[in-house]
Structure 1
Amino acid sequence: MPLARNSCFRHLFSTQASRLLLLLTSASSKQLPHTGNVSRIQRRECNANAPRPRTSALIAPYQEMNTLETCPHDLLYLIFQDACHDTGVTARSLALTSRRMSAISSTFRYRNLAIIGITRIKRAYESLLSVPEDLRRVHHLYLADIPSEYLHVEPVSPNMRLRGCTGTEKAKRFQLAVDKLLALVAPTLRTLTCVTRNPWQRFILAHMGTTTFPCLESLSLSQTTRMPFHSDAFLPPSPLRMPKLRRLHLAYTGAGYIDFRVGGIVRLFADHCPNLTQLRLSDIDFYLGGKAELFRMLHEMRIPTTEIFPLEGSPISRQLAIGGRMLQYPSHIQRVIVQLQKRGRYGAGDLEAEDMKVLRSMQCLDRDEFMLDNPRISRTYDEWVDEWLEVSDGNFDAWEDPERHSRLTSVSRRSQSCA
C-alpha cells in the first residue's frame, strides 16, 4: 500500500503539516534580531554586570526553520500533499515562505481551486494561461457565480434568495468565462462542482459538449433557474466526452422542479459516459409527471423498486416522450440517491409529506440501489465547498456509506409503520 494512502501515516502527516504551517506563519510574522547582534548585546551586558538575556528564546525559531529547510524532500512532499487538500490557499501560502518550499509545493499550487465570481474566474484563467503546462495540473475545481455574501442558512423566500445576483448580461459573461477556463484545465480535471444562482443562467452543461474531459470522475451541477427545461437551453449540441465519469450529482435549488424532461439529461450522461454508476438528485421538488418519470427511470435502469406505484394509468403518460419517442435508460447505473428540498416555512409541509410517502412506497428497504435521503434546506455555498473538498480528498461517504444507508432505511421503516 502506498505510504500516502496508509491511514496511520496520513494522520502523522496531517499533524506534522499543521505544526509546519503554524511554524511558518509564526516565524514570518515575528521581527527577530539577527544572532550576531544578540552576541554583541550580551557582551556589553556582561561587561556592565547586567543579567544576561535568555538567548534560547531568540534563536529557537531560527533553529526550527533550519530544521525545516533541511527536512528530507520526500517527507516534505508527503506533508504538503496532505496539507494542501483545501481551496488552494495553503499551497499558494507555502510558495511565499522560501524558494525551497515554493519549489516543493509547486506541484500542489493549482491542484485544488475554488473560484467564486466572474472577475475571479477571468483572473484565474489569465494566471493559468501563463503557467507552464506541466505545472498547470488542476485536479479539483469549484466554480460559483456570486460571492459568498449571498449565503443563506435559514429558509428564505425565492425573491430574497435571488436578490442581487440576477441579470442576463451577468449570465452571458459568467458562461463565457467558465467556457474558457474549462477548456484550459479539462485535460487534468478529476472533480468539478459548479454552483449557479443566477435565475437567467443557462445550464452550464449546455456548453460542456465542446470540451473533452478525459480524467473527470465526479461532476456536481447545482442550478437555480427560471428558464424552461427545453433541450436547447439545457442539453449540449454535441455528445458529452467524459469517458471516466462515475458520479453525477444534479441539484435544482429554488424552483428545483424535476419533471419528465430531466430524464433527458440523465439519459444523455448515461449514453455517453459508460462508467457512470451513481446518480444523485438533490434539492428537488416534483412537478407534473416527475414521480412517474423517476419510477420509470429506476425501472429501466433495473434499480429494484416496489411495484405498487401506478405508472401505466398515469394521466401524464403521453408527456413522457421526448422528440416523439420514449426514453430508454441503460442498466449500467447501479445506484440512485434522491433528496427532496425542504420547503420550510415558505412552502407546504403536507406536499412534502405526500412526496416522501410516494417515494418511500417505491423504495425496497432491503436493497441499497435506490436510496431516499432525508429532506433538507438547500445547500449554501459553504456546504457545497465542504462536499467538494470531501470528494476531492477521496471521501465518498455521501455516496457509499453503508451505515448511512442503514440509518435511512430504519427511518423509512418507522415512517411506513406509523403511516
Structure 2
Amino acid sequence: MEHLAMELLLEIFDLACADDALAARSLSLVSRRVHEASRPFRFRIVSLYATTANLQAFIHSIGVERKRSPNILPKCRHLFLQCPNTREWGQDATLTLKDALMSTSASLDERYSGILSYSERGRTSGTRNQWTEHLSSLLDIVAQDLETFTLVAGSDLDGSIFPSSFPALRELSVVARGFPLDFDPNTGHRYRFPSLRHFHFASLGDSEKSPGDLATLIPRAPKLTHLRISHLPRQRNLSALIRLYRKDGPHTAFANLERVLIQPVPPSERCGPSIMYCDFVTRLWCSARPARVPVYLVPGDVKLHGADHQAFVRKAKEEWQDRIAGGEGCWVVKEDWVNRSDVGHVVPWHLLLMGQPSRVERWTLEEGFLSPAEMNWMNTV
C-alpha cells in the first residue's frame, strides 16, 4: 500500500470507507502516507449539534482541509443536524471540531469516533441571524455531495436557510413542528432535489397542528418514490394529505410515487384510544382504499406520546444510522398495514389494539367500529 499511486489509494479508500467511518479511522492510524490519503474521508459521515460555535468549527475545519488538498476535496455524504432551540443558538462546544479532527494525541481516541459528535455543554451568546447564516454556509459546502440528510428542528425554521440545490441527495428526513421548507418560487431561493427518492417528515409534539402543505415539494422532487409522515396529529381536514396519493389527484403529484407510510400520533398508553382517535385512524384507513399507490398506516410509537424533544432526536438518529448501514430504517412495512379492500368499511384493527385491550373492546362494541367477524377475531387473540 505504501508504494501504490495516490490515485489508486483514493479509489480504494473511496470504496472501503462506505461504513460508519470506522474504516477511515483505522486507515488514519496505518502510516503517515495512508493517514494523509485518508484525511478527506473523515468528513464522510457527520452528526452535528448545530450551535453557532459548532457550525463555525465545522466550516473552519473543512475549509482548512480543502485549502491544504485542493485536488482531494473532503466530501460529506451523510449529515445529521440537530438544531438547537431558541435559547441555545450560541451554545458553545467543549471540544471544537478542529481539535476533534486534527489532534494527534493518543489520549483523544474519541476524536476518531465513526460519526463525529460534538458536546452540547457550555453556553455563549449568539443570535438567530448568525446561526442562520452559518447553517446556510454549511449546507452550501456539503450540498453537492450529500446523499442522506436528517434535520431535527428545535423551533420553526425559515426556508431561506436552504440556499442550494442538492443534486445527489436521495433521502431527506425532517423532524419539526411544521414543515419548515418554504418552496415558494417567489422567495428567490432554488430548492431542487432531482435525485430524491425517500422523504420522511416527522411532526414534533401531540398538538392538533397541520404539518404543512407537503405538496410544495412536488415540483422539486420529481423522482420521489417513498413518502412517510410520522407522528401525525389528529387532523379535522385530511384533504391536503389525501391529494398526494388519491387516484383522481393531479398527475404532477409525485408521478413516480410507489408507497406512502402514515403514522398517526398514538393514543395515550394510560387511557387507550379515544373515540376521536378511532375516528381519525378510521378516516385515514378509508382514504387509503382508493389510493393510486399502497398507503400503509403504521402503528404509532406509544413511547413517543408526550415524550420530550430528545426522544425524537434519538429515534431520528437511530433511523439515520440504520439507513447508512444499509438497513430499512423507518421504511419497514407489513402487508396488514395497507387497506386493499375494494368493498366494505374496514377498520385498522392494528391501530385500535395499540391501547389497553379492554378499553378497545368496550369502545368498538359501543360505537360499532368493528364487524362481528372482527370482534370474534379480537376475542381469540
After TM superposition, the score normalised by the length of structure 1 is 0.58
Residue of structure 1 equivalent to 2:204: 253
Say yes or no: does 1:105 pair with 2:38. Answer: yes
Which runs of 5 or more residues in structure 1 are unaligned? 1-67, 151-163, 304-326
What residue identity is the alignment partner of 2:288? Q
Inter-CA distance 79–146: structure 2 relative to 1 (3 Å threshold): same
Structure 2 distance, partners of 1:328, 1:257, is: 29
| Aligned counterpart in structure 1 of residue 157 of structure 2, from 189, 202, 208 | 202
Deviation at 1:300, TM superposition (A): 5.4
Q: How many residues align?
A: 298
1:358-408 C-alpha deviation (Å, 9 max, x unpaired): 222223399962111111244532221221122223434643x5xx32253
Contact 1:142 1:194 in 2 (8 A): yes
What residue identity is the alignment partner of 2:260? V
| Aligned counterpart in structure 2 of residue 141 of structure 1, from 79, 101, 125 | 79
Residue of structure 2 equivalent to 1:120: 54
Inter-CA distance 194–330: structure 2 relative to 1 (3 Å threshold): closer
Structure 2 distance, partners of 1:214, 1:398, is: 23
Inter-CA distance 97–82: structure 2 relative to 1 (3 Å threshold): closer
Residue of structure 2 equivalent to 1:352: 277
Contact 2:247 2:291 in 1 (8 A): no
Structure 2 distance, partners of 1:78, 1:279, is: 35
Contact 1:114 1:141 in 2 (8 A): yes
Residue of structure 2 equivalent to 1:215: 168
The secondary structure found in structure 1 opposite 2:202 is: strand
Which runs of 5 or more residues in structure 2 are unaligned? 89-120, 305-310, 340-346, 353-369
Inter-CA distance 211–70: structure 2 relative to 1 (3 Å threshold): closer
Greater helix proportion: 1
The alignment yields a C-alpha RMSD, in angstroms, of 4.4
Inter-CA distance 83–342: structure 2 relative to 1 (3 Å threshold): farther
1:291-315 C-alpha deviation (Å, 9 max, x unpaired): 2322233215769xxxxxxxxxxxx
| Aligned counterpart in structure 2 of residue 186 of structure 1, from 143, 148, 168 | 143
Deviation at 1:348, TM superposition (A): 7.9
Contact 2:200 2:229 in 1 (8 A): yes
Structure 2 distance, partners of 1:268, 1:233, is: 7
Contact 2:222 2:254 in 1 (8 A): no
The secondary structure found in structure 1 opposite 2:240 is: helix
1:311-353 C-alpha deviation (Å, 9 max, x unpaired): xxxxxxxxxxxxxxxx973533232111122353699841333
| Aligned counterpart in structure 2 of residue 270 of structure 1, from 208, 218, 235 | 218
Residue of structure 2 equivalent to 1:50: none
Residue of structure 2 equivalent to 1:372: 297
Residue of structure 2 equivalent to 1:339: 263
Inter-CA distance 288–356: structure 2 relative to 1 (3 Å threshold): closer
Residue of structure 1 equivalent to 2:98: none
After TM superposition, the score normalised by the length of structure 2 is 0.63
| Aligned counterpart in structure 2 of residue 85 of structure 1, from 19, 22, 33 | 19
What residue identity is the alignment partner of 2:76? V
Query: Greater CA deviation, 330-339 or 213-222?
Result: 330-339
What residue identity is the alignment partner of 2:60? E
- Of the two, which has the highest radius of gyration? 1
Residue of structure 1 equivalent to 2:337: 408
Structure 2 distance, partners of 1:169, 1:233, is: 29
Structure 2 distance, partners of 1:267, 1:353, is: 26
Inter-CA distance 297–366: structure 2 relative to 1 (3 Å threshold): closer
Deviation at 1:255, TM superposition (A): 5.1
Structure 1 distance, partners of 2:63, 2:10, is: 28
1:257-289 C-alpha deviation (Å, 9 max, x unpaired): 553x722xx222211221122211112213442
Structure 1 distance, partners of 2:227, 2:337, is: 17
Contact 1:256 1:284 in 2 (8 A): no
Deviation at 1:188, TM superposition (A): 0.9
The secondary structure found in structure 1 opposite 2:174 is: strand
Deviation at 1:179, TM superposition (A): 0.6
| Identity fraction in percent | 20
Matches within 5 A, 1:1-400: 85-86=19-20, 88=21, 91-92=24-25, 94-96=27-29, 98-118=31-51, 119-132=53-66, 133=70, 134-146=72-84, 171-197=128-154, 199=155, 201-203=156-158, 205-208=159-162, 210-224=163-177, 237-254=188-205, 257=208, 259=210, 262-263=212-213, 266-289=214-237, 291-299=238-246, 329-344=253-268, 349-350=273-274, 351-364=276-289, 369-376=294-301, 377-378=303-304, 379-396=311-328, 398-399=330-331
Deviation at 1:137, TM superposition (A): 0.9
Contact 1:221 1:250 in 2 (8 A): yes
